[in-house]
Amino acid sequence: MRRLVLGCGSVGNEMVDELTDHPGELHVITADSGRATALRDENVSAVEADPLDPTNYPDTADLVVVAGPSTTDNLTAADRARERFPDAVIVAYAGEDATEADLRAFRELADRIVDPIGTVAERVLDVATGATADRLRRMVRALRSVDGKLAVVAHDNPDPDAIAAAVALVRIANFAGTAAEAVYYGDISHQENRALVNLLDIGMRRLDPAVDPREEFAAFALVDHSRPGVNDSLPTDIEPVVVVDHHPPREPIDAGFIDLRDGVGATSTLLAEYMDRLGLTPDRQVATALLYGIRIDTKDFTREVSEADFDAAASLFEYADTSVLDRVETPSLSASVLDVLADAIENREQRGTALATCVGEITDRDALAQAADSLLNMEGVNTTLVYGFRDGVVYASGRTRGADLDLGETLRDALDQIGSAGGHADMAGAQIPLGILADVEEGSTETLTEVVRDIIAGRFFETLEDAPAAPVRSAERLVTFPDED
């Protein structure tokens, strides 16, 4: 058999070493002069020449191995080899940066493709069994189907769980050979969240809601929420390729891969599980972020916590930077946060175990969430709603604990008709344009505050009388996947 090797990167070197042990002719063409010399010293026929130039090829070849380091060059070499040797068997190395489009092009030209990422993934996945293996294979397959750049989208104004899940899914997408970027809409304004992003140098990018993201991204993945246009500013007609959340929604979801499990306390737990099953060691940034995401969403393992959350935290601990966590958890409180908290306590209105409070005009909208968390610690209170206004918009933040209601759906029922609202069963938010209310006795903040209080608190307490129930949690809620071709 006459064998021809075009290009000789690290994978090509291994192929040449293997081929030298078999009988028949072997000829190598490589642009690497050092490698050509070394092969000749080993009695292998090798020339220093351009492997993309057919004039350097021998007259005949039964097997052509395309094994350079570059995906683009290997595609060109495979194309020219196929034209020159139409009856030869062509084996092509895809390269580490091959996209799904590249792999499709290789399949048109080559008889066999050496795809190291796919090979490693399959080998790792073979270790897993049953539903876990199936879930991972489907996720990797969905990620690899992206022809272009993937946007991993956290929900608006992302919290630590969403931030961590986004950066972790970017790592997994890169492992699958897909370029990806973690993005969000809104603001990262909570002091602890800003500290997390800054101390770990997390490169999440804020998107402009006025620009269609499809101009830049080929596909979208959602983490810690599940529907485009609901708790994010994506166009509602986008169909994500991946959705991962620990709060299953009220309505069905359309996506290439869906993992919705409310039997765990954080989306970060699911991402930690994926990385562990795929054999990916989390770096300091990802491990620290995931560990913090789990701790925050389970309120330090005291709220809706599962065995999986403890297992994930244990697996992450040795890679996480606990000194960063100490600094994240003790940020200084700004004067604006203290002012909002004081106003929230003074203006609170309580009915049963639910509390709502209007803090008037605000400068820091994320102070609302901090106040809602703090008020939840009051005796006899298990549901809080703190709201205020700035720049012509009323912002509201809600929390609940130990109550049999879905707070996200409750706020959506109460306020969606006059604005936008939603979130998770235990934490949610809303934004309501002031509209004509802003014209009420212009310049009179006190009167405007009264009008806002009457409308928001009135709708909130009225809806609580027949509030949507919280979803029933299970060890593992149904995980749904679209049918495969």
Per-residue model confidence as pLDDT tens digits over 460-478: 999 998 876 665 554 444 4
Beginning with the edge strand found earlier in the chain, give each strand of the sheet holding 150-153 in spatial order: 205-206, 180-184, 150-153, 219-223, 242-245, 257-260
Per-residue confidence band for 347, with pLDDT thresholds at 50, 70 and 90: very high
Structural domains of the chain, ranges and CATH numbers in brackets: 2-114 (3.40.50.720), 127-328 (3.90.1640.10), 335-464 (3.10.310.30)
Q: Is the pLDDT of residue 203 over 80?
A: yes
Which stretch of 165-169, 298-302, 397-401 has the lowest confidence by average pLDDT? 298-302
Give me the DSSP letters along 282-313.
P-HHHHHHHHHHHHHHTTTTTSS--HHHHHHH
Q: What digits encode the pLDDT tens for the residues 69-80?
A: 888 999 999 999
Q: What digits encode the pLDDT tens for the residues 126-177?
A: 555 556 667 887 888 889 889 899 999 999 889 999 999 999 999 999 888 8
Q: Is the pLDDT of residue 485 over 50?
A: no
Spatial contact of 275 and 311, defined as CB atoms under 8 Å apart: no
pLDDT of residue 441: 47
Q: Is the pLDDT of residue 443 over 60?
A: no
Name 205's bridge partners.
Answer: 183
pLDDT over 70 percentage in the chain: 88
Residue 378 three-state SS: coil
- Give the whole-angstrom CA distance, residue 142 versus residue 221: 10
Average model confidence (pLDDT) across the chain: 84
Helix (H) or strand (E) holding 215: none
Per-residue confidence band for 14, with pLDDT thresholds at 50, 70 and 90: confident
404 burial class (0-12, 13-18, 19+ CB within 10 angstroms)? exposed
Top-confidence range, 28-37, 246-255, 267-276: 267-276
Q: Is the pLDDT of residue 229 over 70?
A: yes
Per-residue confidence band for 333, with pLDDT thresholds at 50, 70 and 90: low
pLDDT of residue 23: 76
Residue 88 three-state SS: coil
Q: Is the pLDDT of residue 482 over 50?
A: no
Spatial contact of 223 and 153, defined as CB atoms under 8 Å apart: yes
Name 6's bridge partners.
Answer: 29, 66
Q: What digits encode the pLDDT tens for the residues 177-193?
A: 889 999 999 888 777 88
pLDDT of residue 326: 81
- Give the whole-angstrom CA distance, residue 81 versus residue 59: 11
pLDDT of residue 481: 43
pLDDT of residue 191: 76
pLDDT of residue 102: 85
Residue 371 has, within 13 A of its CA and on its CB side, a CA count of 33
Residue 265 three-state SS: coil
Spatial contact of 328 and 195, defined as CB atoms under 8 Å apart: yes
Q: Outline where 298-406 has alpha helix (H).
A: 307-317, 322-328, 335-346, 367-375
- Give the whole-angstrom CA distance, residue 52 versus residue 293: 49
Give me the DSSP letters along 174-200.
HHTT--EEEEESS---SHHHHHHHHHT
pLDDT of residue 409: 86
3-state helix, strand, coil in the chain (%, to 5): 40, 20, 40
Residue 319 three-state SS: coil
Nearest to 426 by CA among 411, 442, 441: 411
Spatial contact of 464 and 398, defined as CB atoms under 8 Å apart: no
The pair of structure tokens assigned to 152 is 């991993």
pLDDT of residue 138: 85
Q: Is the pLDDT of residue 444 over 60?
A: no
Spatial contact of 205 and 180, defined as CB atoms under 8 Å apart: no
Per-residue confidence band for 224, with pLDDT thresholds at 50, 70 and 90: very high
pLDDT higher at 399 or 333: 399
Tell me whether strands 242-245 and 2-6 are parallel, antiparallel or unpaired.
unpaired
